[in-house]
């Protein structure tokens, strides 16, 4: 027996009391104020652990914080021939012969090369649990949560959620094989499975096998086995001790002997108190009856406390009374037999009803699980559609903002500026790149001048339509390079003048008349602009065929005529800006 004594830190001699470590109450020790201990380096060899000497373990008591030391008791009880099993028994290991059957198993690629007999082989085992789902029609570990089980359980049926290594392996211990099912378990099938109606039934020593036609068995488990080998040297067992100590330090809190006994006494007191409370509750729940009946109730076994509702203690008392068959007649025996047959039939009917109800409950549970899965699927689909709709709505919102910005830009945009680009080229005024005028140094072709006058006439008529201006007497008609001016009287054309020329002398008078009438139309539009907006002003004054004191008629001085035409284009540009500002779209910003 390995015991743990405690000594004050810093003292050479240990105290007289010797304590033992109990792993079963370590979790309660942690609840009472224990804390995880840090692992210390072993100070003695494995021989000191196996002999009756005392070695410091590097731990402290979780309650009193006294230093813990290891003392080996009952020395000499280990048989020399079974030294390996005795050493493994200190760690509660399941020692087995070499599972590979190879006497040269020390030659392992995963570890150092040792001779035969220098390894101890142990077996690790867990239980794998599965449950049958009627809705999915298959076995699976993921269904065991429905009945409160874990996918794996230890040898002592402690829950394990996944297969993990018990502790990290080092250079002195190695895995021999992988996890494999145990097909030698009594009552198992070819894959090692044991079947039962529930997991409680699997705890029976000999569970029955499952047949294909039997659909009532919904739980199964099988044993998984894996082997490892430990180097049978001082270093190997010290590493095993270190690994076990690390496992204890990470999961449990060591206690000294005195603290362990105190904790045991306290837990025992709590257990006795709970048992007393249970007894009080049982007495309270018993039916009120006289002293004789209460005595009969107390004298009955505890298993009688759960009975069918139609069977009472009085009936049992009558049934258990001794019956003298010699004193009973045949008729009485027949009546007794008939009563027992009726009772048996009633119990059979009750059993059948319970079976049907149980099957109905299982079917309802399966249907409910299917409905729940369908509901989750529909909810996931609706959530996905909602996400798509949300993203599409966000995209439409971004596009709407972009479209609004484009609309505002287009509303502020003046298309007249692109349709009629008025600029200058030195001394010439230009409209859409066409020069208007002539200079002795730069004689411009009359075809270009006629085209420029046609663009100016088109600009004037477009502005008039935009501002709803109707020329009553003088009507400009835009026809490209052959534009004209009509003189109207009573709504009918009386005269027409060409707004184009070839430079000849014969058409010069009519051409000058057309230029004068065009200038009057420009002035009429300017007067309307001033009437609509008093702040509107034009840079040049138009009066009797002159603009800016320069005559618009051709002849005499070409430089003055060219400048007058340039003033005309400037006046048209201001008129174009007023029309764009005054008569913009209603939704323009």
Tell me: do 222 and 358 sit in the same domain: no
3-state class (DSSP) for residue 220? strand
Q: How would you write the pLDDT of the chain (589 residues) with one tens digit per residue?
A: 444 444 333 333 333 333 333 443 344 334 334 333 333 333 344 444 444 334 455 556 767 777 665 554 444 343 334 555 666 776 778 888 888 776 555 444 444 444 445 888 888 888 999 988 877 888 988 888 877 788 898 887 888 877 766 555 667 888 888 888 988 888 889 898 998 888 877 865 554 544 444 446 788 999 999 888 888 887 888 777 777 666 555 444 566 778 878 888 999 999 999 999 888 888 887 755 445 554 454 444 443 333 334 334 344 444 455 566 667 788 888 888 999 999 999 999 999 999 999 999 999 999 999 999 999 999 999 999 999 999 999 999 999 999 999 988 887 777 777 788 889 888 899 998 899 888 888 888 999 999 999 999 999 999 888 888 888 788 899 888 899 998 888 777 788 889 898 888 778 888 989 999 999 899 888 888 888 887 777 888 888 888 888 888 887 788 888 999 999 999 999 888 888 877 664 444 3
Q: What domain range is 310 assigned to?
A: 291-320
**CA 204 to CA 147: how far, in whole Å?**
18
Whether 81 contacts 92, CB under 8 Å: no
Tell me: do 303 and 328 sit in the same domain: no
CATH number at residue 550: 1.10.418.40
Residue at a domain's end among 20, 42, 77: 77
- 262 part of a folded domain: no
Tell me: do 431 and 500 sit in the same domain: yes
Tell me: do 93 and 131 sit in the same domain: yes
Residue at a domain's end among 362, 397, 432: 397
Residue 255 main-chain phi, psi, to 5 deg: -130, 150
- 82 part of a folded domain: no
Tell me: do 329 and 312 sit in the same domain: no
Query: What does the CA dihedral 29, 32, 34, 35 come to, rounded to 10 degrees?
Result: 120
The 8-class DSSP code of residue 63 comes to T
**CA 390 to CA 399: how far, in whole Å?**
14
**CA 371 to CA 460: how far, in whole Å?**
78
Task: Give the orientation angle of helix 291-299 with respect to helix 313-320, to 10 degrees.
Answer: 70
- 557 part of a folded domain: yes
pTM, 2 dp:
0.36
Phi-psi region of 124 (alpha: psi -120 to 50; beta: other; left: phi over 0): beta
**CA 143 to CA 162: how far, in whole Å?**
14
Tell me: do 377 and 454 sit in the same domain: no
- 383 part of a folded domain: yes
**CA 402 to CA 327: how far, in whole Å?**
110
Tell me: do 169 and 228 sit in the same domain: yes
Tell me: do 337 and 430 sit in the same domain: no
Q: How many whole angstroms from its chain centre is CA 121?
A: 45
Number of domains in the chain: 5
Tell me: do 56 and 138 sit in the same domain: no
Residue at a domain's end among 53, 77, 101: 77
**CA 396 to CA 418: how far, in whole Å?**
32
Q: How many whole angstroms from its chain centre is CA 141?
A: 23
Q: Outline where DSSP puts E strands in 157-250.
A: 159-160, 173-175, 180-181, 194-196, 219-231
- 124 part of a folded domain: yes
Which residues fall within 8 angstroms of residue 113, CB to CB, at 6 or more apart? 106, 107
Tell me: do 463 and 554 sit in the same domain: yes
Residue 321 main-chain phi, psi, to 5 deg: -65, 145
Burial zone of 78 (CB within 10 Å; 0-12 exposed, 13-18 middle, 19+ buried) = middle
């Amino acid at each position: 027996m390995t015991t743990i004594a405690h000594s004050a830190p810093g003292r050479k001699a240990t105290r007289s009391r010797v304590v033992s470590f109990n792993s079963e109450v370590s979790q309660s020790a942690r609840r009472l104020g224990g804390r995880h201990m840090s692992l210390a380096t072993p100070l003695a060899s494995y021989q000191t652990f196996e002999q009756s000497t005392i070695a410091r373990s590097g731990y402290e008591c979780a309650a009193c914080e006294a230093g813990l030391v290891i003392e080996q008791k009952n020395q000499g009880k280990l048989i020399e021939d079974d030294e390996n099993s005795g050493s493994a028994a200190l760690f509660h290991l399941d020692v087995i012969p070499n599972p590979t059957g190879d006497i040269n198993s020390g030659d392992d690629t995963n570890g150092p090369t040792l001779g035969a007999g220098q390894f101890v082989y142990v077996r690790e085992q867990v239980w794998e649990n599965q449950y049958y789902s009627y809705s999915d029609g298959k076995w699976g570990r993921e269904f065991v949560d429905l009945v409160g089980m874990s996918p794996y359980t230890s040898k002592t049926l402690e829950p394990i959620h996944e297969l993990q290594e018990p502790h990290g392996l080092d250079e002195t211990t190695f895995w021999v094989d992988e996890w494999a099912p145990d097909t030698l378990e009594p009552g198992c099938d070819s894959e090692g499975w044991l079947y039962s109606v529930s997991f409680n039934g699997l705890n029976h020593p000999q569970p029955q096998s499952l047949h294909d036609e039997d659909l009532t068995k919904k739980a199964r488990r099988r044993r998984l086995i894996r082997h490892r080998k430990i180097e049978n040297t001082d270093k190997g067992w010290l590493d095993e001790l270190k690994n076990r100590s690390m496992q204890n330090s990470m999961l449990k809190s060591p206690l000294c002997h005195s603290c362990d006994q105190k904790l045991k006494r306290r837990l025992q007191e709590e257990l006795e108190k709970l048992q007393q409370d249970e007894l009080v509750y049982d007495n309270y729940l018993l039916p009120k009856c006289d002293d004789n009946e209460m005595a009969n109730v107390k004298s009955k076994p505890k298993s009688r406390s759960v009975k069918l509702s139609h069977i009472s203690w009085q009936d049992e008392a009558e049934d258990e009374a001794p019956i003298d068959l010699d004193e009973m007649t045949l008729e009485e025996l027949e009546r007794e037999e008939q009563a027992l047959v009726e009772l048996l039939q009633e119990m059979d009917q009750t059993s059948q009803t319970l079976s049907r109800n149980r099957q109905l409950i299982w079917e309802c549970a399966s249907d409910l699980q299917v409905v729940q899965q369908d509901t989750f699927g529909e909810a996931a689909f609706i959530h996905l559609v909602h996400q798509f709709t949300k993203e599409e709505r966000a995209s439409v919102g971004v596009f709407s903002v972009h479209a609004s910005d484009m609309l505002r830009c287009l509303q502020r945009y003046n298309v007249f500026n692109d349709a009629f680009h008025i600029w200058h080229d030195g001394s010439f005024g230009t409209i859409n790149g066409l020069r208007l005028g002539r200079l002795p140094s730069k004689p411009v072709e009359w075809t270009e001048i006629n085209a420029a006058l046609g663009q100016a006439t088109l600009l004037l008529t477009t502005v008039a339509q935009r501002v709803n201006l109707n020329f009553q007497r003088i009507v400009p008609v835009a026809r490209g390079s052959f534009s004209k001016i009509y003189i109207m009287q009573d709504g009918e054309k009386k005269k027409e003048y060409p707004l184009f020329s070839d430079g000849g002398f014969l058409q010069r008078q009519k051409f000058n008349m057309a230029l004068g009438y065009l200038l009057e139309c420009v002035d009429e539009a300017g007067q309307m602009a001033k009437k609509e907006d008093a702040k509107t002003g034009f840079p040049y004054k138009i009066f009797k065929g002159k603009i800016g004191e320069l005559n618009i008629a051709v002849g005499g001085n070409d430089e003055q005529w060219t400048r007058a035409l340039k003033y005309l284009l400037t006046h048209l540009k201001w008129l174009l800006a007023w029309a764009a500002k005054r008569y913009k779209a209603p939704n323009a910003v």
